[in-house]
């Protein structure tokens, strides 16, 4: 996937943006002579622009000698003289150091999102941008007591080099919990990791080679997209239905998933059945059984992201894929970051013993093992019953915040705006009327001290620019209401501008995929 970021609202024509960004990728070394670039039809579909726009950009690049098409093989970056490295040994002038930029391996997709969210954070009063628990509810004293107790009783053991599969007392607590939830089967093992993001990184290393194919939800968690992109994997997107279609169900479209598996050699499926990030949708239990049946039939393992599952508002439970799995096709990744303390980096994977052993070897090469102080203190925190207590408190608090958010949206949002009803988790997904771009809305609403995540950042294919994600978990009820009011006011102003006949840009209408 080429890391192109188009600005449809810009005065610079789209084909010039594509041309110049491709040039930049060649000059900074992200694209090298001999690299194949996507066919114009394929790139156009990915960027959501007309094929002619891409064809124009390619024509200019070819006339400049930067790319060349080969009949039946594709289009490739040219090996022209300008790009060649000087032959070794080069003679350097005074002060000549290494040109590091030309040595970097890849552009990182995460970069732009991280820049956007970090910009002007001092002026941001209300941020719907990041899914994290609120600091003011942290049971810090209970944690300090737990930490103190374990350092007194087992300090030297905690601080010494440990086992790569996790600190034994924490693993025991965790295994007991997971067994009680029907997640840890008798042939399963657990690997402690440094959180959900690392679990995905380990899965990439254990299973994927460059060019392998992964099927996953589109839109999806940008951290997962970035992991797979970094592993040079081909991602195939399966749409997520934000609302229940006639005769279907919300969440991952299983008919399309099955077509994808039939038509491609897919190595893994990544899916978040509960409160999917970013859409907040949940896969019903019948669909979960069908998903397992499909995965087993095609022999394609499922990576189940279980990170939000314990945050169901009502407190009830839908059995996880791992709990329903009878054939050992699921690896479940989970973490304490969403329910407790994200500043401690502790997560885990559950799966068949041979898979966990392989992941353990990969973990060892990645960072030897997870920090033991955090694990030991969490074990004590769990033994004392603090985790259960806190989780119940958070469930209730988040459910109330979600109600406040849904009420505010219903009260203030203009007609034509739609949103999901997650029933738990940390995120809600908003769809604006077609033709509106949430990235533009963000620029305006940020001036009023409000931040959210534009939908564009969650898509790796066919972005729907008129979508956005609201994370409500770390805000209080007043902030939620005020934030929604600012958002609604700004949106109404934008819609009025359009009605008054402001010239529409030449951007093609985009089909919604959620």
CA–CA separation, 142 vs 381, rounded Å? Answer: 7
Residues 396-435 that bind a second copy (CB under 8 A): none
Beta carbon nearer to a second copy, 49 or 470? 470
Q: Which of 89, 314, 316, 501 binds a second copy (CB under 8 A)?
A: 89
Query: Count residues contacting a second copy (CB under 8 A)?
Result: 98
> Do the beta carbons of residue 428 and residue 420 sit within 8 Å?
yes
Which letter does DSSP use for residue 103 in this model?
A: G
Is residue 226 part of the contact set for a second copy (CB under 8 A)? yes
User: Are the C-beta atoms of 37 and 1 separated by less than 8 Å?
Assistant: no
143 binds a second copy (CB under 8 A): yes
Cα 492 from Cα 175, distance rounded (Å)? 51
> Strand 330-335 and strand 302-305: pairing?
parallel
Site string for a second copy, 483-512 (x = CB under 8 A): ------------------------------
Q: Tokens 């006639």 belong to which residue?
A: 246
One DSSP character per residue, 289-354 reads HHHHHHHHHHT--EEEE-TTGGGBTTS--PPPHHHH-SSS-EEEEEESTTTS-TTS--EEEEEEHH
Query: Contact, 207 vs 267, CB < 8 A?
Result: yes
For a second copy, the binding residue among 72, 81, 93, 96 (CB under 8 A) is 96
260 binds a second copy (CB under 8 A): no
Q: Is 97 in the site for a second copy (CB under 8 A)?
A: yes
Secondary structure (3-state) at 303: strand
The sign of the dihedral angle between the CA atoms of 427, 508, 263, 266 is: negative
197 binds a second copy (CB under 8 A): yes
Q: Which of 27, 50, 51, 108 binds a second copy (CB under 8 A)?
A: 108
* Contact string 272-301 vs a second copy (x = CB under 8 A): -----------------------xxxxxxx
424 forms beta bridges with 312
Rounded to a whole number of angstroms, the minimum distance from the CB of residue 233 to a second copy is 11
> Which CB sits closer to a second copy, 91 or 246?
91
Q: Give least dist CB 250 to a second copy, A.
A: 26
| Least distance between a second copy and beta carbon 352 (Å) | 6
Query: What is the smallest separation between the CB atom of 21 and a second copy, expressed in angstroms?
Result: 18
Binding mask 304-323 for a second copy (x = CB under 8 A): --------------------
Other CB atoms within 10 Å distance of the CB of residue 458: 27
Nearer to a second copy, 23 or 205 (CB): 205
Residue 370 makes contact with a second copy by CB under 8 A = yes
């Amino acid at each position: 996937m080429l890391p192109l970021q188009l600005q449809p609202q810009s005065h610079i024509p789209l084909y010039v943006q594509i041309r110049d960004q491709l040039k930049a990728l060649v000059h900074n070394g992200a694209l090298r002579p001999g690299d194949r670039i996507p066919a114009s039809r394929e790139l156009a579909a990915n960027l959501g622009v007309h094929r002619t726009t891409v064809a124009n950009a390619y024509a200019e690049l070819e006339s400049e000698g930067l790319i060349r098409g080969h009949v039946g093989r594709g289009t490739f970056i040219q090996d022209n003289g300008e790009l060649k490295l000087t032959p070794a040994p080069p003679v350097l002038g005074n002060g000549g150091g290494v040109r590091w930029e030309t040595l970097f391996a890849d552009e990182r997709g995460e970069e732009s999102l991280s820049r956007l969210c970090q910009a002007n954070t001092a002026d941001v009063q209300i941020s719907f941008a990041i899914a994290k628990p609120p600091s003011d509810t942290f049971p810090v004293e209970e944690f300090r007591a737990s930490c103190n107790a374990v350092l007194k009783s087992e300090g030297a053991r905690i601080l010494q080099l440990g086992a790569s599969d996790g600190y034994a007392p924490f693993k025991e607590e965790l295994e007991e919990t997971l067994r009680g939830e029907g997640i840890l089967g008798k042939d399963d093992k657990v690997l402690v990791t440094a959180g959900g993001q690392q679990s995905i990184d380990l899965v990439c290393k254990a299973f994927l080679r460059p060019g392998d194919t992964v099927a996953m939800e589109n839109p999806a968690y940008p951290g997962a997209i970035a992991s797979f992109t970094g592993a040079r994997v081909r991602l195939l997107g399966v749409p997520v239905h934000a609302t229940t279609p006639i005769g279907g169900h919300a969440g991952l479209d299983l008919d399309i998933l099955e077509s994808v598996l039939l038509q491609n050699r897919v190595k893994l499926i990544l899916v978040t059945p509960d409160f999917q990030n970013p859409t907040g949708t949940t896969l019903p239990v019948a669909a979960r059984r069908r998903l397992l049946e499909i995965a087993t039939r095609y022999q394609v393992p499922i990576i189940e992201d279980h990170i939000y599952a314990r945050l169901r508002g009502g407190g009830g439970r839908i059995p996880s894929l791992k709990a329903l799995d009878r054939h050992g096709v699921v690896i479940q990744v989970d973490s304490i970051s969403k329910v407790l303390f994200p500043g401690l980096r502790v997560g885990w994977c559950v799966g068949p013993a041979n898979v966990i052993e392989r992941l353990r070897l990969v973990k060892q090469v990645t960072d030897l093992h997870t920090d033991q102080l955090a694990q030991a203190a969490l074990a004590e925190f769990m033994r004392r019953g603090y985790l259960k207590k806190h989780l119940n408190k958070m469930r209730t608090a988040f459910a109330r915040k979600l109600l406040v958010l849904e009420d505010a949206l219903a009260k203030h949002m203009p007609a034509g705006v739609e949103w999901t009803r997650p029933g738990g988790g940390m995120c809600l997904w908003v769809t604006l009327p077609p033709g509106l771009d949430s990235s533009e809305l963000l620029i305006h609403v940020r001036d009023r001290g409000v931040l959210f995540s534009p939908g564009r950042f969650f898509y790796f294919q066919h972005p729907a620019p008129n979508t956005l994600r609201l994370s409500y978990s770390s805000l209080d009820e007043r902030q939620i209401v005020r934030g929604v009011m600012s958002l609604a006011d700004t949106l109404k102003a934008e819609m009025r501008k359009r009605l008054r006949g402001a010239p529409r840009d030449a951007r093609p209408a985009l089909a919604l995929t959620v």
